[in-house]
Homo-oligomer: A and B are copies of this chain.
Amino acid sequence: MKSTFQKYGYREIQTPMFENLELFTAKSGETIIDELYSFKDKGNREIALRPELTAPVIRFYVDKLQMEPKPLKLFYFGNCFRYDRPQKGRYREFRQAGCEIIGTSTPEAYAELIALAYTILTNVGLKDIQLSIGNLNILSSIFKTLKISKDKQKQLIPLIDKSQFEEISNLMQEFGIKNEEVENFLDILQTSNIEKISNYIINDDLTKKELSYLKEILNLLEKSFEIKDYKIKIGIVRGLDYYKGVVFEIDAPVLGAEKQLCGGGAYELISLFGGKETSTAGFAIGFDRTILALQTERYQFPLEKIDVFIIPVNIETIDKSIEVTQILRNNGITADIDLLRRGMSKALKYASSINAEKIVIIGPKELEKDSVTIRDMKTGEQTLVKINEILKVVK
């Protein structure tokens, strides 16, 4: 993940594990306190373990980085905390990888951001992911056209978020919206056809402009970034109400109900923290859930291996064995030596338990010839090798 962020020109940022509580309530409202590990420190300050990293990064930007050349591309990898009922893929302490791009709102910037999130998840080895792209300004203007008030939106949004179409339909009819309009809205929530969406909002010039901007992004994403496997989903609402404009999500269908791996989009937060507002966008990837998705897809995680395990045949050869071990280590080879003065068979068993690929056996007979015995653990083949040629053989 880190290496993909870096290839896209992002630089790592690290922020403290806790912040003033008000940083998170300012961003997400007082209700977030229920989900936080918050406490008073010995100086009676209200602090909270960070539940996410966007607010800390933007806080740091406002404090220290406002004068940096734009765009500023920052990525992070860190632990976050949420006081929540732990369940599969949702832990009280969890890890997030993510990024923020500050100071640009060109279509190519958003297309690159979406491409980056998608590329990170394919680069780590996931085979089946589903990218959905929406736009909150378009959804907002649809709400406006349908005369759905902010209060009513708050009832509707959780249902849209969960794609509960029957419940959406019932609630909208309760709101007094005509059956035909409800049906059309449900159609738009479920279509990935941009022309259909375009026809639906045909009478709203501002929204048409927003849509043509979205088209530009999608065009770059397909043609230049070569990411063609996505859906348009106008019903992406995201939990947070600070998002504006383009939003996107990436799911791993293999995970079932808790399938969302990544969420992101354009948002406004800088002025809330006292900085000069400039375009910002970003995304966060649930690291633990990504691992879970890889496991479910039966991804072969690399085994931790030891290149060489050295066994001194008796106490007299320990010093020489250490010297050989150090030659290997100093030349970039992962080497370990028996530190328990065990007999050969026990030492070999240990070597196998730590996945040693080669064994170097060092006894008095070998040392008489300035040599050691090298055994390949896969083939079982043993060869006598001069100590000054050991590097050549092992490499």
Contacts and interface: CB of A to CB of B under 8 A. Distances in A.
Given A17-B79, A49-B17, A220-B319, A326 B225 contact: yes
A341 B334 CA distance: 48
Max count, chain B CB within 10 A of own CB: residue among A108, A111, A336, A337: A108
A224 interface: yes
Interface string A341-357: 10000000110011000
B323 A224 contact: yes
A333 B7 contact: yes
A322 B224 contact: yes
Contact of A304 (B11, B40, B329, B353): B11
A93 interface: yes
The range of chain A's interface size is 35 or more
Contacts of A18: 37, 49, 93
Number of copies of this kind of chain in the complex: 2
A11 to B, nearest CB: 6
A6 interface: yes
A223 interface: yes
Interface of A: 6-9, 11, 16-18, 37, 39-42, 49, 69-71, 73, 79, 81, 83, 93, 101, 103-104, 106, 108-109, 111-112, 220, 223-226, 304, 306, 318-320, 322-323, 326, 329, 332-337, 339-341, 349-350, 353-354
